[in-house]
Amino acid sequence: MKSSQIEQFFATLQAANPHPQTELEFSSVFELLAAVLLSAQATDVGVNKATRKLFAVANTPQKILDLGLPALEDHIKNIGLFRSKAKHLMEACRMLVDLHGGQIPADRQSLEALPGVGRKTANVVLNVAFGQPTMAVDTHLFRLGNRTGLAPGKTPLEVEMKLLKRIPARFMVDAHHWLILHGRYVCQARQPLCKACAVQQFCGYKLKV
């Protein structure tokens, strides 16, 4: 995809959705961190169903610790890998209380030091909560980067680095959301809905179908 096409690609997505938002429900930076941690290999719908009840009774690191592991597991048992996620969230909450006064740090190194928080989760928090121009490459972004020709790469990190290099700065803060939503609802994994795609004219995939 050429630079001029990338500009038009994101301008089109921006015109259709000027203020994209994550579909995870949260009302604080901690709730966002917890929701993203729980969302690995799970749907946003399933995570939201669990966190609505969880955050009603425990929505800070200290409250999660006070809740205890068995009760936390019970609240999130509808989410895949809930036992390991509960353990990671509990350990992360302990670190947040002990090392950060219960606050969520705004730097990658501190975030990635938390149990259960990898590069993708840290990127989401840095972007959504702190407005940093990061690119969290999940399965949708990895697929779109390769399928469209926007940022081909063999690994998520390679795709991430190419996206950061190729996306115009004025689109960077919102690009992550546009690509996730586009991958989720239009450029789907099994069968991309090319006929309903507003950016298909800029996409390299049509050359292969």
pLDDT band per the 50, 70, 90 thresholds, residue 41: confident
Domains 3-19+134-208 and 29-128 share a fold: no
| Catalytic-role residue among 120, 174, 195, 206 | 120
Contacts (Cβ under 8 Å, ≥6 apart) of 169: 133
Q: Is the pLDDT of residue 208 over 80?
A: no
* Chain segment 57-87, per-residue pLDDT in tens: 999 999 999 999 999 999 999 998 899 999 9
Q: Is the pLDDT of residue 207 over 80?
A: no
Contacts (Cβ under 8 Å, ≥6 apart) of 138: 120, 180
Distance CA 64, CA 14 (A): 37
**Assigned token pair, 41:** 């290999």
CA 194 to chain centre: 24
**For the chain, what are the domain ranges?**
3-19+134-208, 29-128
Say which CATH topology domain 29-128 has.
Answer: Endonuclease III; domain 1 (1.10.340)
| 72 φ/ψ angles, rounded to the nearest 5 degrees | -65, -45
pLDDT attached to residue 42: 87
pLDDT band per the 50, 70, 90 thresholds, residue 206: low
Q: Is the C-alpha dihedral spanning 60, 138, 165, 153 positive or negative?
A: positive
* Chain segment 125-181, per-residue pLDDT in tens: 999 999 999 999 999 999 999 999 999 999 999 999 999 999 999 999 999 999 999
| Catalytic-role residue among 77, 87, 138, 154 | 138
* Chain segment 3-34, per-residue pLDDT in tens: 899 999 999 999 999 999 889 999 999 999 99
Is 120 part of the annotated catalytic residue set?
yes
Round the average pLDDT of the chain to a whole number and report it. Answer: 93
pLDDT band per the 50, 70, 90 thresholds, residue 209: very low
Say which CATH topology domain 3-19+134-208 has.
Answer: Endonuclease Iii, domain 2 (1.10.1670)
pLDDT attached to residue 174: 93
Q: What is the pTM of this model?
A: 0.87
CA 45 to chain centre: 14
More confident residue, 29 or 203: 29
Q: With contact defined as beta carbons under 8 Å apart, do 100 and 131 qualify?
A: no
Is 44 part of the annotated catalytic residue set?
no
Helix (H), strand (E) at residue 38? helix 29-38
